[in-house]
Structure 1
């Protein structure tokens, strides 16, 4: 289990997911920009455009993986549901460990459903970037 998944599970178990705070704190423009950022990254995955997908990752994620090639290889191997989704259905934005986090119901290429949690980070210039992705099975009581 990756460090990001462990941290997400800890946050979820501790009850740090609060839908109302995230919804109230974000403008409609912010919610739209968050959705557009995630959609653009998934579109880049579908095109196998690692450079474009990597550009939508936060500076911390970029530093962790170093190159777009390393990043896209990790996504191909460990995140098939978001790399090649059959369906992608946006839900509410919640607060996870203090960060606005977009919930997305995903059907992966194998037909299995997961919920993807996308913590987001706003850059100083106002753009939104993806600061991780945590996958949870809908029937997983731990997350």
Structure 2
């Protein structure tokens, strides 16, 4: 009677799926940690007045629109004051959208109002860079 390798192949396939199931959440967590780190470093750079470093976290599409750290920082100061000089911030929901990551940041702006900032981040080579930020003022909530 010939020996069948089918049961062994099934076990190998099950082991492969189990290994993938264990690795996938770790990879997703690593991405989330990287995304949050980039956002934190950019916000902290704005707070510290280090606009060159803040600019270094901008993706190529942002740098094409704002070709210097000075121009970029002026744009953020005027249009994105809640993330330029927040009183406080914390991370909210995170989404892995396939080719980009979306991270909500809940912010108390310099005016004492509550904002949500949805950051979009993509990986470029080994670096995670910010491709956009969409800020909304929450109605009826302030300090």
Please tell me the TM-score bracket, short chain as reference. 0.7 to 0.9
Structure with greater strand percent: 2
TM-score, normalised via structure 2 length: 0.74
TM-score, normalised via structure 1 length: 0.74
Residue segments in structure 2 that go unaligned for 5+ positions in a row: 1-24
Residue segments in structure 1 that go unaligned for 5+ positions in a row: 1-23
Cα offset for 1:97? Answer: 9.9
Q: Is contact 2:87–2:107 with CA below 8 Å preserved after alignment? A: yes
Deviations 1:41-60 (A, max 9, x none): 00110111111000000011
Distance in 2, Cα, partners of 1:120 & 1:71: 17
Distance in 1, Cα, partners of 2:68 & 2:127: 21
Higher relative contact order by CA 8 Å / sep ≥ 6: 1 or 2? Answer: 1
Distance in 2, Cα, partners of 1:33 & 1:104: 14
How many corresponding residue pairs? Answer: 117
Structure showing greater Rg: 2
What's 1:43 paired with?
44
What's 2:111 paired with?
110
The alignment's C-alpha RMSD in Å is 2.3
What's 2:63 paired with?
62
What's 2:129 paired with?
129
Distance in 1, Cα, partners of 2:95 & 2:29: 14
Deviations 1:81-107 (A, max 9, x none): 000111111011136796311001100
